Amino acid sequence: MTKVVADTGDFTQIKKYQPQDATTNPSLLLKAVLMPEYDEVVKSALSNTKDINKAMLNISTAFGVEILKVVPGRVSTEVDARLSFDCEKTIEYARELIASYQAHGVDKDRVLIKIASTWEGIKAAEILEKEGVCCNLTLMFDLVQAIACAQSNVYLISPFVGRITDWYMKQQGQKDFPDVAEDKGVQSVKEIYQHYKKFGYQTVVMGASFRHVGQIEALAGCDALTISPELLAQLESDQASLVQQLSKDAVPLADHTDTIIDEKMFRWAMNQNPMATEKLAEGIRKFAEDTVKLESIISQKIK
């Protein structure tokens, strides 16, 4: 009922759970690069360059290539988060990633370019999609981001569940996770899924950033879900029946209409949603911080 995607850069774990696709990000790559079992992958990726920018591209694609030896589908590889507000530079970086994959014999049809769901990121993805480069728009926290992506013919979106839940729990002073029926993160993905199906958008909805298996089970039937190895292990050990919660054939009537999203509407809607504004900025900062950390490690290695 749902395509399972592994949310990790650890391809040993990917082999264990045999998902269809896999996603990576700077934080996951940083974790993988520090694992001793991948020293040879890192060494090989850095063997022919002393340029840090080229080295970072090589690391991203090296892990992607290894992952594609395990999964039958696609791997998502992220553009440098520091380019999240630069449309032209995002396009340039994406093209370099695709060229790097192609140099390793990987066709662009097996790669998703992962970009933050800023206005600039969405517009960059629109251009890349026209070039035949499929994109995964990440760090998504508001319906307006999802609609803008669909109207730009983006291949796939990754609305974040757990980070939305975290924000509301902090605001309300909650220590325990809410019932999934009241979980704002789960509700957000359901709203996006139902809007897409009601208005006929073809963009794939892939829920991401889960805190516990209850959130995953509450979204069974979503187009795709990207899940960490830790939560995949818990799901594997659960022998109870899994009930489908989402279906394109059972979409309730939404109380809103579909509107063409322009830049002014997008920025105003984001401004009116403090959770989405805060979590998008925080996510970009975190990925940028981990990219800098990864650069520092790689710089030492290429010296």
CATH classification of the domain holding 133: 3.20.20.70
Give the helix/strand (H/E) hosting 237.
Answer: helix 229-237
pTM beyond 0.85: the answer is yes
Cβ atoms within 10 Å, residue 212: 14
- The per-residue pLDDT for 198 is 93
The domain in which residue 177 lies consists of 3-302
- The per-residue pLDDT for 235 is 96
CA angle 84, 85, 91 (to 5 degrees): 70
Give the helix/strand (H/E) hosting 191.
Answer: helix 184-199
Cβ atoms within 10 Å, residue 301: 15
In three-state secondary structure terms, 255 is: coil
Do 60 and 45 contact (CB within 8 A), yes or no? no
Q: Tens of pLDDT along 216-250?
A: 999 999 999 999 999 999 999 999 999 999 998 88
Cβ atoms within 10 Å, residue 137: 30
- 114 is a catalytic site residue: yes
- The per-residue pLDDT for 254 is 59
Q: What is d(CA 150, CA 144) in angstroms, rounded to the nearest whole number?
A: 10
Contacts of 159 (CB under 8 A, 6+ apart): 140, 141, 146, 188, 189, 192, 205, 206, 207, 208
Q: Which residues of the chain have pLDDT under 50?
A: none
**Phi, psi of 175, rounded to the nearest 5 degrees:** -105, -25
Q: Please report, for residues 92, 121, 270, the alpha-carbon distance to residue 267 in angstroms, rounded to integers and kept in the order given.
A: 24, 13, 5
- The per-residue pLDDT for 257 is 80
Of residues 114, 184, 190, 279, which has the active-site annotation? 114
Domain count, the chain: 1
